[in-house]
Amino acid sequence: MRIAPQASEIINRDKSVTFTFEGKKYNGFEGDTITSALLANGVKILGRSFKYHRPRSVSSFANHDMNVIVDDVSGQYFIPNIRADVTKVKDGMKLKAVNTFGGVEKDKASILGRFSKFLPVGFYYKAFHTKALFPMWEKMFRTMTGLGNVDFKTPKIKTSKDYGFCDCLVVGAGVSGLSAALAAAENGLDVVLIDENPQIGGSINYTNIPNDLIERAKAANIRIFTDCYAAGYYADNWVALVHKTHMTKMRAKTLIVASGAFEQPPVFRNNDLPNIMLAGAFLRLLKLYSVKTINDAVFLVANDYGYEAAKTAIDYGINIKAIVDLRSGDELPLLNDFIAKNIPIYSGSCIYEAESGKDKNVIGVKIHEFNDGLAGALKAEIACDGVVMATGFAPALNLLYQANTKMRFDDARSQFIPDVLPNSVFSCGKLNGNYTYETRAIDGEIAGINAVNFVKNSKIKLPKSLPETQKPNHPWAIVEHEKGKTFVDFDEDLQLKDFKNAVQEGFDNIELLKRYTTNGMGPSQGKHSNMNGLRVLARLTNKTPFEVGTTTARPFYHPVPMKHLGGRGFSPNRVTPLHSRHGDLNAIFMLAGNWQRPEYYARVGVTRQNAINAEVMAVHENVGIIDVGTLGKLEVIGPDAAEFLERVYISKYKGLKTGMARYGVACDETGVVVDDGIIARLAEDHFYFTTTTSGAATIYRELSRLNMIWGLDCGIVNHTGSFGAINLAGPNSKKILGKFTDLDLDDFPFMGYREAFVAGVKCRIIRAGFVGELGYEIHAPALEVHKVWDAFINDGATPFGVEAQRVLRLQKGHIIIGQDTDGLSTPYNAGVDWAVRMDKPFFIGQRSLKIINSKPQKQVLAGFVLPKDYEGAPPQECHLIIHEGEIAGRITSITKSPKLGQIIGLCHIKPELAQIGHEIKIRFSDGTFVAANIAQTPFYDPENLNQKGVA
Amino acid sequence: MKIMTCPINGERPISEFYYWGAIKTPPNPDTCSDEEWSDYVFNKNGAPGVKKEFWCHSPSNTWFVAERDTLTDTILTTYLYQGGAK
């Protein structure tokens, strides 16, 4: 129920909101969370547990327990798995508890609780090993398990990413985080302070700590992000900050982790009943939301924090029926205040079990003696309507674990504490075992100044740290019960006996135990269960908690909406300077490497295949033009230029005459072919050469490296972007080129190089024959190449695309590096052995080729043809060649040549099967075969008369 | 994401860099045995420890040497190549 307005409350009572939960209408106030609004309305059961469908209500009220999860079905698309503890309720919300069969009040699946004997630990592993039964189990578990429902109609929402930078990122805005941020900011650092809550201050907001930290932080030069959590730590202080709407990738020079501690639930029978809650939940409900759910309370405590909460309860007029303290004797604090009020205090005692009433709420507890971690005789049975628990914390070390921090276990405080931190990462507050206001504040200041000294390389004196006197974490707040229902993990309904059984079955290592029991594998990822699980394992195996160790902490600390992670794909494409011209000519584009290239030019009423054939025939019969601006275009200049090329390429270039060009093949150190191109000599000390389209960037990079190592007297210039290039080919290419240039084309031999004006543009021209007809490769500055292109197009040259080029070059048996070669192709088995010049002192791959050449080839590249009358579907690239039931090779290129009227191709094949005329069997994907015959290449114009211009 | 220091461009995210591999001195190809050459070409030492490697800052095509401890995943130092291997 809601109590009278409080100064500390963060709800706006002037604005009421109406929403439904499980079909019933409720009112709340603006600022309420779903949980606080429901509790204010007196709703008792807010959710059902994952496995046994036990009734549950608020437990931590801190975002990190899974008792209350709801789907919002009010919108066009429903939103699954909302954490009701922390999500603000909105007007018009229609909420439904997840994972129930017939509603949260009367969940039919709660009968599973009675069958818990038949759902032993490791059930999945035990049940699923029979293959025949698997489909049945799968169907059943797909229905039974899982939480909210995903709405598959939900559209993809693109979320932008934010890139942030700061000197100092402080995670957590409680006492120590605020102190750290202030110390860092006051000493001139650019500070970002984040907190997962809607307000900064942490426990200041709901405990009686008098201090001005919140106001000072707001006034200081600090960037504050609330409703924001650090989801992951990545190398060099790159922290993923997740906001409600987006993610910030924050690069911080220093990181201060002040993330506080998670309250840990004590374990006893029925410790999960509604209205049994952690002290923090109790305090936040009262102070921030003015919601009181308990009138007659039992407090189960083992630290000062529990007594602070009890004092607050008294202030709010709550009747304390008993305080049960696990500790006894010297460990107890001064209890005069409570004794004076006649509040019974049971020291050295525990709650052995809680009992529930008709409304499933807790109605009473049994208090037993508690000695050495074991329950003794019954001391009292006490009726109550709520239990508040404060027996310990577990520090939120997740981010520090991700940052590779070495931890130690502090026995006095019974918690892990950072021992060796990365040099730009600092921790403070509860993480370091400090729980009183003064120690936390000083510890924060120390962390802040440490950050300043790190960033500024200064030596500001650190304040003296205060010794911590509190021991807030009880080492064993766990009470066994023969009837079970002693919950360690609330997400997964794991009981104490499950751990015992798992260890008995041999899963006695923390990582194994986690996976076998699924402890800490629910949505809260063990924030309230890992520490107890570790303690149980330590006790069962007679180890210390440090020896047991923790499981590996990985990103994310907290679930991140997929929309924050999925973003725009970032795969930039390159386009040539002629790109818009291709668009104008109805080009269909394809991706070659990361270049966009015309595959072919669409023609109205003509099929793709016919359009490609027409382009091929235009090159054969008249003149075609293709944009080859995607080729890498490099220049090497200097006295050692020829020497450089001779070391890189397998052929010789020192003797290449100025004004001539030569084919070049480059290998890597293993002798494998990696690139090819044409190398033209512009002057004694000046070469211009091309690389493959896909190799354009990498070859330049590698040549730069080699040039650095060799220290030759030459330099490399990359013209790939600054030059465009077109290939003009066909019997009429000479005629059409002649119209636009004064160059003497009669004095321009095959593989010659010339510089001349074409259509008014200064061009570099190589007479090459990649496509097998008389042709010219014309390179021109990127900003002007379109003038050359336009001149030829307007004069009737037919544009052709990559597909037609592939057909044309395949007719000539010209290889494409990366298609007709692979990671094992050397010049010897890629059909370019004629280019190898072993009689040079050195080239890359030479020594390896020497070895390779002394051994028999395993595969060679060969041409093949299908019979001219073959009319079935053509085989595809990568279809296998089968010989006597074994794989003998594969197709690398195949096409139907419109000029030759038959299917031609290249294949890798065993040398003994590569004699001309030999019949090979090609296997289709469906297992059928087609016969083909090895054939001489080039398939077309074997004497190369056309490209030489002799024909 | 890690930060790497390019000797020319300073600290940049490591996605801007291209890793080539460990710097190895090849044996003399004229005098070494086939086995020695194969060992040089194919066998890379993957044992964790301090590695001397070639890296390139791709946007500026700056090659340099990085010394990296692959056991602790820390970049110890980066500097421009001063000669050495062949």
User: Is B84 a member of any domain?
Assistant: no
Write down the pLDDT at residue A178. Answer: 98
Q: How many domains would you assign to chain B?
A: 1
Split at pLDDT 50, 70, 90, the class of B71 is very high
- Region label for A103, one of left (φ > 0), alpha (ψ between -120 and 50) or beta (otherwise): left
> Are the C-beta atoms of A850 and A835 separated by less than 8 Å?
no
Split at pLDDT 50, 70, 90, the class of A948 is confident
User: Is B30 a member of any domain?
Assistant: yes
User: Is B56 a member of any domain?
Assistant: yes
Nearest-by-CA chain B residue for A717:
B61
Report yes or no for ipTM above 0.90.
yes
Question: Is B18 in Cβ contact with A847 (below 8 Å)?
Answer: no
Q: How many CB atoms lie within 10 A of CB A421?
A: 18
Question: Is A709 in Cβ contact with B37 (below 8 Å)?
Answer: no
Six-digit token pair at A123? Answer: 């059930």
Question: Is B20 in Cβ contact with A705 (below 8 Å)?
Answer: yes
Taking Cα atoms as reference points, which of A28, A50, A33 lies closest to residue A109? Answer: A50
Which DSSP string do the residues of A781-842 spell out, in sequence order? ETTTHHHHHHHHHHTTPEE--HHHHHHHHHHTT---TTTT--TT--TTTTT-GGG--TTSS-
User: Is B86 a member of any domain?
Assistant: no
CA distance A850 to chain B (A): 9
**Worst-scoring range by mean pLDDT, A441-445, A453-457, A691-695, A698-702?**
A691-695
Q: Does A842 contact chain B (CB < 8 Å)?
A: yes
> Percentages helix, strand, coil for chain B, rounded to the nearest 5?
15, 40, 40
Taking Cα atoms as reference points, which of A486, A485, A521 lies closest to residue A113? Answer: A485
Q: Does A235 contact chain B (CB < 8 Å)?
A: yes
The count of CB pairs under 8 A between chains A and B is 44
Q: What is the mean pLDDT of chain A?
A: 93
Nearest-by-CA chain A residue for B55:
A705
Average pLDDT over residues A798-816: 95
**Worst-scoring range by mean pLDDT, A465-469, A547-551, A561-565?**
A561-565
- Partner-chain residue, chosen from B18, B26, B32, that has the shortest CB–CB distance to A701: B18
Residues of A in contact with B37 (CB under 8 A): 847-848, 851
Question: Is A670 in Cβ contact with B42 (below 8 Å)?
Answer: yes
Average pLDDT over residues A645-668: 96
User: Is B46 a member of any domain?
Assistant: yes
- In this predicted structure, the answer to whether residue B84 has a pLDDT above a threshold of 60 is no
Positive or negative torsion for Cα B37, B40, B42, B43:
positive
Q: Per-residue pLDDT tens for A594-640?
A: 899 999 999 999 999 999 999 999 999 999 999 999 999 999 999 99
Q: Give the residue carrying structure tokens 């201050």.
A: A201
Write down the pLDDT at residue A121. Answer: 79
Q: Does A406 contact chain B (CB < 8 Å)?
A: no
Residues of A in contact with B53 (CB under 8 A): none
CA distance A596 to chain B (A): 21
Q: How far apart are CA B23 and CA B4, in angstroms?
A: 18
Residues of B in contact with A846 (CB under 8 A): 29
Question: Is A238 in Cβ contact with B1 (below 8 Å)?
Answer: yes
Q: Does A594 contact chain B (CB < 8 Å)?
A: no
Split at pLDDT 50, 70, 90, the class of A860 is very high
Taking Cα atoms as reference points, which of A557, A593, A600 lies closest to residue A575? Answer: A593
> Which residues constitute the domain of residue B66?
3-79
Question: Is A235 in Cβ contact with B1 (below 8 Å)?
Answer: yes
Q: Does A669 contact chain B (CB < 8 Å)?
A: yes
**Worst-scoring range by mean pLDDT, A62-76, A415-429, B43-57?**
A62-76
- Can you name the residues that pair with A505 across neighbouring β-strands? none
Q: Give the residue carrying structure tokens 């009737």.
A: A796
Q: For residue B51, what is the domain's CATH number?
A: 3.30.2270.10
Residue type for position A722? S
Residues of B in contact with A851 (CB under 8 A): 34, 37-38
Question: Is A710 in Cβ contact with B1 (below 8 Å)?
Answer: no
- Partner-chain residue, chosen from B1, B41, B63, that has the shortest CB–CB distance to A705: B63
- Partner-chain residue, chosen from B29, B34, B41, that has the shortest CB–CB distance to A670: B41
CA distance A238 to chain B (A): 6
Residues of B in contact with A847 (CB under 8 A): 29, 32, 37
Write down the pLDDT at residue A44. Answer: 93
CA distance A649 to chain B (A): 17
Q: Does A708 contact chain B (CB < 8 Å)?
A: yes
- Partner-chain residue, chosen from A235, A704, A847, that has the shortest CB–CB distance to B37: A847
Write down the pLDDT at residue A155. Answer: 83
Domains and CATH numbers, chain A: 1-155 (3.10.20.440), 161-262+394-456 (3.50.50.60), 266-391 (3.50.50.60), 478-563 (1.10.10.1100), 579-629+722-810 (3.30.1360.120), 632-718 (3.30.70.1400), 856-951 (2.40.30.110)
Residues of A in contact with B21 (CB under 8 A): none
Output Rg (C-alpha) for chain B, integer angstroms: 15
Residue type for position A792? F
Q: Per-residue pLDDT tens for A888-907?
A: 999 999 999 999 999 999 99
Write down the pLDDT at residue A125. Answer: 75
User: Is B27 a member of any domain?
Assistant: yes
- Can you name the residues that pair with A247 across neighbouring β-strands? A161, A242
Average pLDDT over residues A787-791: 98
Six-digit token pair at A424? Answer: 């730009």
Which residue has better confidence, A65 or A726? A726
Question: Is B37 in Cβ contact with A238 (below 8 Å)?
Answer: no
Average pLDDT over residues A247-257: 97
Q: Output the CA–CA distances (angstroms, integers) from residue A222 to A95, A214, A437, A538, in the order listed.
A: 37, 12, 22, 43
Nearest-by-CA chain A residue for B4:
A236
Residues of B with CB under 8 A from a CB of A: 1-3, 18, 20, 26, 29, 32, 34, 37-38, 41-42, 54, 56, 58, 61, 63, 73, 81, 83, 85-86
Per-residue three-class SS string for A701-712: HHHHHHHHHHCC
